[in-house]
Amino acid sequence: MALIHRAQLRPSKLELLEPWLRTRSWFAGDPTAPLTSAGAYRFDDPAGEVGIETLLVRAGDGPVLQVPLTYRDAPLEGGEAWLIGTMEHSVLGRRWTYDAVGDPAYIAALATVIFCGGTQADEFVDVEGDLVFRESTATVAGSGPADAPAPVLLTTGDISTSDEPDSTVVVTGSLRLVILRAPGSPKAETSVLAARRTAGGGAEQLSGTWTAQPEERVLALANSL
């Protein structure tokens, strides 16, 4: 379950994201246009300490870009390379916001959903002490069997990430993840095929839909090394 507070954020998520996003090798769209939201989904952190949210955004009439984020109440040790910035949350205080591909909490959540056939977290908004269910603007599901064991993951120091023109590759221990940055684009389809070839046919995947995209798209792939 993802608990969401009715709060003010300064800067907003999109305001924080805009300057960072335009420096990424996989950015596509109008660099002068403000970002708009196409949807979002969340994962649970079993420890209940880290907010894990993936934003789907567009810059002008560019493709939908997938940006996983983590929100923490203190800096992530060893995570300086993935820090996007900080936001002031009117309920929770300062939140350190990371490109989640370098955060062990996100990697564990994504890998578990993919390998164990999970889905996005249910979202509940805290309205004066009452928890009110909110429909997610994106739905996702992993392709693995529900009875599969959860993967064993390592610490921040064991994480390696590399940005490609249309994806980010994460390697940690015996796990390889490919996060598609423009899901559904022709380049993304090429990345899916390449990832499956690299995995020798053994890759599981995360697929999803969002408000303006009712047909499933591959969002990420995972395989054991």
| CB contact set of 141 (below 8 Å; sequence gap of 6+) | 113, 117, 118, 119, 206, 207, 208
Strand ranges for the chain from DSSP E: 2-5, 9-10, 35-43, 51-59, 65-72, 83-89, 93-99, 123-127, 130-134, 138-142, 159-163, 167-172, 175-180, 204-210, 213-224
pLDDT greater than 90 at residue 55: yes
pLDDT the model gives residue 156: 61
User: Model confidence over 211-225: pLDDT tens digits?
Assistant: 999 999 999 999 988
Report the C-alpha dihedral over residues 126, 113, 21, 137, rounded to 10 degrees: -50
Domain layout of the chain by residue ranges: 2-224
Mean of the per-residue pLDDT values of the chain: 91
HSE (side-chain half, CA atoms, 13 Å) at 199: 22
The 10s digit of each residue's pLDDT in 149-180 is 888 775 666 899 999 889 999 999 889 999 99
What's this model's pTM, rounded to 2 decimal places?
Answer: 0.93
Q: What was the pLDDT predicted at 91?
A: 86
